Structure 1
C-alpha cells in the first residue's frame, strides 16, 4: 500500500515483538486470553486437521495466541504467522488480520488478494471481537495454505470463525460483569452477542456492541444506567415507585421460594400488608408458586 510505503515484492517476514514486549501484551490482556482459550481449542478441533492455523490477535494486529499442529508449525512460522508477529495493515498491507481490524468486519482474504506476493499462497478468514466497552478488542483468524482450498470451503470456515468470535465476545462480556444478571437483548437465539448486564436494581449497566447499536446506546465506553425494562420494551401499567416496589416484592418472593410469610418478614412488613400490596401491584396469588406458611 502506497500510503504505508510498502513494497508488495518485499520478502521479509513480519516484524516480531521481543519476548518482553510480548509478555507485557499478554499480561495486559490476560483475563481476555483466559476466557478465549477454550473457544480457540474448539475452533481448532474443527479446522486443525485440514492444515489450518488458528490465531488470536490484539486490536493492533499482534498475534497473542494460536493453535496449530506440529506438522504445520514450521511452515506458518516461516511465513511469520506466529505469536508476537505484527499483522496490522500498516505493516503488511491487505491481509486477513490487518484488514479485518482496519474495517471492523468479518472478511476473507484469499490468496492473491493479499498485498505482499509472499502471502499469496494463503487464505485467511477473520472476524473482529468487540470488548465490553464497545471498542475493537481483537481479531480471530484462521489461515490455511492448502493448495486445494476452495472459496466454498473458505465460506464454511469463515462462518465458523464469525460464530466463534461472537462466542468469545459473549463469554468475555459475562466475565466482565460478575455481579450482574446477563440478559439477551434479542428474541433471536442466534444473537448470542446482543447482551445487557443488569444490576440488582434492574438497571442496565453494560451492553455489548451489538446491543448498543440495536438499542441506541452509547457507541463506546461506559453506558448511562437505564431501567432494563425500558430498553427491552416491556410495557406495564406501573410507573415510578410502583414499578420499583413491584420488582422488590417479586425478588423477595423469589428468594423465599414463594413463601409469603417469609417474604413479608424479609421486607419488614406484615403478611396481610404484603397481600394488599401484591393485589395493588398485580402480582397474582398463584398456588403453584406461592405458599402461605
Structure 2
C-alpha cells in the first residue's frame, strides 16, 4: 500500500517491449544458460499439475517460463509471462518479489498474494546466488492454488542450488574446489558444500551448502584460508588428489566440526603452473562478453580440458554431436538439449526403439565433453547373464566366486573412472542389482565383490533403453528412486520412419562405406526405401546399405538386384499393405518431404522418369474414400498450395483423428503441443 499499489484495481500488466526483453535476456544470458536445463528437469517433475516454472533476473523481470499449456494461458492474464516484472514494487507481496527482498526461499499461497487477481496462484520461489552471495535471479514454480503440493518448495530449492553449483563450477573451473560434507556419502550430491580455493590457499568462493554446514556468512568465510579453516594445505591436497582413485580425507574446523573433504582441480592447468588465481566475480549486470560459457563445441577444442586428464593427451577426433545432424528437426532438438547440459554433471537418459543409434549418441556426447580424453565404457545390461552382471560392473577380488580370474578383475565402473559410463538397455538390469547401482551412484564409491575396500570413482552417466520405464516402475520391475537418479535429462531418439533425413543418412553411410567411389540409388530403390517402415531403424539401414555396396562391386548405382531377397520381400509386402489401407493424415515429416525446399540431394539417387516417381497420400480437403495415391503435381484445376497451408491441414486432421486430444495429436505428428496451439492460433487469430 505504501508503494501506491491497489489490491483490487487492475494494475498495469504491460510487459517489457520486445527490444527491452531482448536486452534483459542478453544481459542475463549466462544465468539462462545454466538455468534452462535445470528448469526442464524441474518441469518434468511437475508436468500436468496446472503449473509453470519461471526464471527472473535480479530485478524480478521474467526472462523465461515453461509449463502446462492451459495454465500458461491463465498465467498470461495476470502478466505471469516473460517481460513482466514481479518485484514487490510492481506486484506487491508475491513469492518472486518477496524472495528478492528477503533473500530466502519463499512460499506465497492463494490470498497471501497482495493483489486479488493473483489469489488463484500458489508460488514457491528460491533466490539464485553467485559464489559471493550476490543475487542473480529467482527460480519459481507457480500453479493453481488448488493443486498445491508441499514437496514443490523442496524441488525448487534443490533446483536453485543445482544452478548455483553449476555457476560456481563454471566460475572456478581453473582453481581447486573442495567438496565436503560431514557424511562421506553426501559428497557429490546437492547436499555437499563446495569451496573454491586459490593457489595461495585463500578461499575465494563457496556455495550455499558450504555456508550452511560451516555456519559462516560469505564475508566471514572469505577471511579464511583452507589452512585456517580446515587445517589443510593446498600442496598436500594437490598431492593427495592428483590420483582419481583417492578417497576423501578427514578435516576439522577450529570449532570442532568434522568433515570429509575431496579436492577436484584441473591437473593439466595446475601442472603447467598457470594463473589459477581468483576468478572475476561476474554478476548478471555485467556485459555478456565477460560471461562466456566455456563449453567445448567441437572435437579438438582446447577449451575446458578434462579434469583428470594429462595435458598432453590427444583429444579424440571425428564423431561428435555435429556428425549426428543430417537435417532432421527432431534429432536437432535432441542435440540442442544435450549441448545445453554438456559438462554440467547431469545424467542423460536416452529413449528410443532398438537400432535408433542410442550408443552412437552416447559416444558423441562423450567426444564433445571435457571427458573426451578419458575412457568411454559401454555395458549392455541385456547381453550379460544376471549371474555375471554384478561382477562385470563392480569387479571382484581373487577367489570371490567359483570361476573368478586369478588376481580378480577391475569392474566396468572403475574402468570408466574420469570418463563416461554408458549403461545400454538399463531397463533389463535385474531388480536386486538396481539397488546396488543406486548406492554406487549416490556414494560415488565401488566395493568389488569379495572385498572390504571401497574405491572412489568419478564418472559421467549415460543410460539408454527401449522400454517404458514408467510402466516398469508401476509394475515394480524398476526402482523409482534409480529412475529419478538416472533421469537428469531424458531425450527420445526418433525411429527412422519418423525422420525426414532418410536420404541424407543414406548418403552419409555410403560415403563412409565406400569413400573411394561415389554410389547412388536407383529410383526404384529410392521408392522402396521411402515406403519401407524400417523396423530395425538406422542399424538395419546400415546393414542393408553395407551389403548392397558389396554386391554392387564396381558399379556406381545400387539397384534392386543388389538388395537381399528378404529385404525386398518385406519392403514390397509393406508397400502393398500401405496401398490397401486408407491413407492416414500426413505427418509434418511427410509434408517436409513434399516441400521443394527440402528435395533429396541429387547425388543420392539416379535420375528416373516421371512415371517412376513415388506417389503421396491425399492432402487436406480430400475425402477419406478418395484414391489412396495421386500424381506428385497438383491437378490442372487446383491452385498451388503453400507448405504452411499443408501443415495446418495436417495438424487439423491429426487433432480431429485424436478426438480433440492435443497431447495425442502432438505424439502422432512428432511436434510439441505448443507448436500445435501456435500454428492453429496463427491460422485463426481470433481463436474462434
Q: Which moved more, 1:194-203 or 1:122-131?
A: 194-203
Q: How does 1:17-166 map to 2 (within 5 A)?
A: 17-145=16-144, 148-150=146-148, 153=149, 155-166=150-161
Shift of 1:127: 1.1
Residue 194 (1) aligns with residue 193 (2): yes
Q: Distance in 2 between matches of 1:90 and 1:207?
A: 31
3-state SS, counterpart of residue 231 of structure 1: helix
Shift of 1:13: 5.0
Q: In the superposition, relative to structure 1, how do residues 77 and 192 fare at CA in structure 2: closer, same or farther (>3 Å)?
A: same
3-state SS, counterpart of residue 219 of structure 2: coil
Q: Which moved more, 1:186-195 or 1:63-72?
A: 186-195
Shift of 1:176: 1.2
Give the structure 1 partner of residue 210 of structure 2: 211
Shift of 1:136: 1.6
Q: In the superposition, relative to structure 1, how do residues 244 and 135 fare at CA in structure 2: closer, same or farther (>3 Å)?
A: closer
Q: Distance in 1 between matches of 2:234 and 2:117?
A: 63
Q: Distance in 2 between matches of 1:223 and 1:215?
A: 13
**Aligned partners of 2:34 and 2:167 also within 8 Å:** yes
Shift of 1:61: 0.8
3-state SS, counterpart of residue 20 of structure 2: helix
Shift of 1:253: 7.6
Q: In the superposition, relative to structure 1, how do residues 37 and 191 fare at CA in structure 2: closer, same or farther (>3 Å)?
A: closer
CA deviations on 1:178-236 (whole Å, 9 max, x unpaired) are 2123222432526646321124454432223553563646439x946x532332344xx
| TM-score for the superposition, normalised by structure 2 | 0.33
Q: Distance in 1 between matches of 2:18 and 2:204?
A: 38
**Aligned partners of 2:202 and 2:222 also within 8 Å:** no
Q: In the superposition, relative to structure 1, how do residues 77 and 205 fare at CA in structure 2: closer, same or farther (>3 Å)?
A: same
Shift of 1:124: 0.7
**Aligned partners of 2:120 and 2:144 also within 8 Å:** yes
3-state SS, counterpart of residue 181 of structure 2: coil
CA deviations on 1:38-77 (whole Å, 9 max, x unpaired) are 1000000111221111001111111111112333322111
Give the structure 1 partner of residue 509 of structure 2: none
Q: Distance in 1 between matches of 2:98 and 2:242?
A: 52
CA deviations on 1:120-175 (whole Å, 9 max, x unpaired) are 011111111111221122111111125x324xx1x111111111111111111111
Q: Distance in 2 between matches of 1:193 and 1:96?
A: 26
Q: Distance in 1 between matches of 2:42 and 2:161?
A: 12
**Aligned partners of 2:226 and 2:234 also within 8 Å:** no
Q: In the superposition, relative to structure 1, how do residues 212 and 160 fare at CA in structure 2: closer, same or farther (>3 Å)?
A: closer
Q: In the superposition, relative to structure 1, how do residues 87 and 253 fare at CA in structure 2: closer, same or farther (>3 Å)?
A: closer
**Aligned partners of 1:184 and 1:192 also within 8 Å:** no
**Aligned partners of 1:106 and 1:127 also within 8 Å:** yes
Give the structure 2 partner of residue 167 of structure 1: 162
3-state SS, counterpart of residue 15 of structure 2: coil
**Aligned partners of 1:129 and 1:137 also within 8 Å:** yes
Q: Distance in 1 between matches of 2:63 and 2:227?
A: 39
3-state SS, counterpart of residue 136 of structure 2: strand
Give the greater-gyration-radius structure (CA): 2
| TM-score for the superposition, normalised by structure 1 | 0.72
> RMSD of the alignment, in Å?
2.9
Residue 180 (1) aligns with residue 175 (2): yes
**Aligned partners of 1:87 and 1:97 also within 8 Å:** yes
The higher-RCO structure (CA 8 Å, 6+ apart) is 1
Q: Distance in 2 between matches of 1:100 and 1:195?
A: 23
Which sections of structure 2, spanning at least 5 residues, go unmatched? 247-270, 272-688
Which sections of structure 1, spanning at least 5 residues, go unmatched? 235-242, 258-265, 267-293
Runs of 4+ off more than 6 Å: none
**Aligned partners of 1:54 and 1:68 also within 8 Å:** yes
**Aligned partners of 2:62 and 2:82 also within 8 Å:** yes
Q: In the superposition, relative to structure 1, how do residues 193 and 7 fare at CA in structure 2: closer, same or farther (>3 Å)?
A: farther
Q: In the superposition, relative to structure 1, how do residues 183 and 140 fare at CA in structure 2: closer, same or farther (>3 Å)?
A: same
Give the structure 1 partner of residue 228 of structure 2: 230
3-state SS, counterpart of residue 102 of structure 1: helix
Q: Distance in 1 between matches of 2:134 and 2:208?
A: 8
